[in-house]
């Protein structure tokens, strides 16, 4: 269970300058200078800022305590995700609870933070596509067509069998 960082700052990304390298990394050029807009840890990868453990400094500074903290966060997150999976076929907000468990994991684990960010980005993109007027008209048309089909089938069933439930219809 690695948070991706051993430094007390908790960041997952370490710049080439911090590692002691200057000429071979993504941010650095081969002549030893860095390209514009990439100097320093905070500007190296904006989508990766803030990754890593959010445990208190006291916990992060003690390896055994930090590992115990991570195990506890993993177990609590696993319990919440497990409850969400159980709620998928049962009544309850299954997906919301699963994403809540992922958010719990994301407080400690970089992989969960990246999965959560990817999920948020995909949900935002889907919401933007759903708000497109062409897509909305198509969805409304498909819904109306589906409701008309269900209404016709229900009308046929009611005219043929009345208010009798399907399992109470005698064999014909």
Q: How many residues does this entry show for the chain? A: 172
**Cβ–Cβ < 8 Å for 61, 8:** yes
Q: Which residues pair with 131 in a beta bridge?
A: none
Q: What are the Cα distances from residue 45, in Å, to 13, 22, 112, 130, 138?
A: 8, 17, 18, 30, 39
> Quick one: pLDDT at residue 160?
86
What does each of the 172 residues of the chain score in pLDDT, given as a tens digit? 554 544 444 444 444 434 444 444 444 444 444 444 444 444 444 455 667 777 777 777 888 888 888 898 899 999 999 999 999 888 888 888 998 998 999 888 888 889 889 988 998 998 888 888 888 899 899 999 999 999 999 999 998 888 888 777 777 5
> Quick one: pLDDT at residue 154?
94
Q: What is the pTM of this model?
A: 0.48
> Quick one: pLDDT at residue 39?
44
**Cβ–Cβ < 8 Å for 70, 3:** yes
Q: What are the Cα distances from residue 31, in Å, to 18, 24, 25, 34, 68?
A: 17, 9, 12, 9, 44
> Quick one: pLDDT at residue 49?
60
> Quick one: pLDDT at residue 32?
44
> Quick one: pLDDT at residue 47?
52
């Amino acid at each position: 269970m690695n948070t991706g960082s051993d430094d007390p700052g908790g960041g997952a990304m370490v710049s080439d300058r911090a590692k002691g390298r200057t000429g071979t990394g993504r941010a650095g050029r081969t002549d030893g200078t860095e390209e514009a807009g990439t100097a320093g840890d905070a500007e190296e990868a904006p989508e990766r800022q803030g990754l890593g453990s959010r445990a208190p400094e006291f916990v992060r500074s003690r390896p055994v305590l930090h590992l115990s903290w991570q195990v506890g966060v993993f177990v609590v997150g696993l319990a919440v995700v497990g409850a969400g999976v159980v709620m998928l076929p049962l009544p309850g907000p299954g997906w919301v609870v699963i994403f809540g468990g992922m958010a719990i994991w994301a407080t400690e684990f970089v992989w969960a933070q990246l999965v959560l960010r990817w999920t948020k980005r995909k949900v935002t993109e889907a919401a933007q596509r759903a708000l497109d007027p062409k897509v909305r008209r198509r969805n409304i048309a498909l819904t109306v067509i589906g409701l008309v089909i269900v209404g016709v089938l229900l009308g046929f069933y009611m005219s043929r069998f009345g208010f009798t439930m399907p399992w109470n219809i005698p064999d014909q």
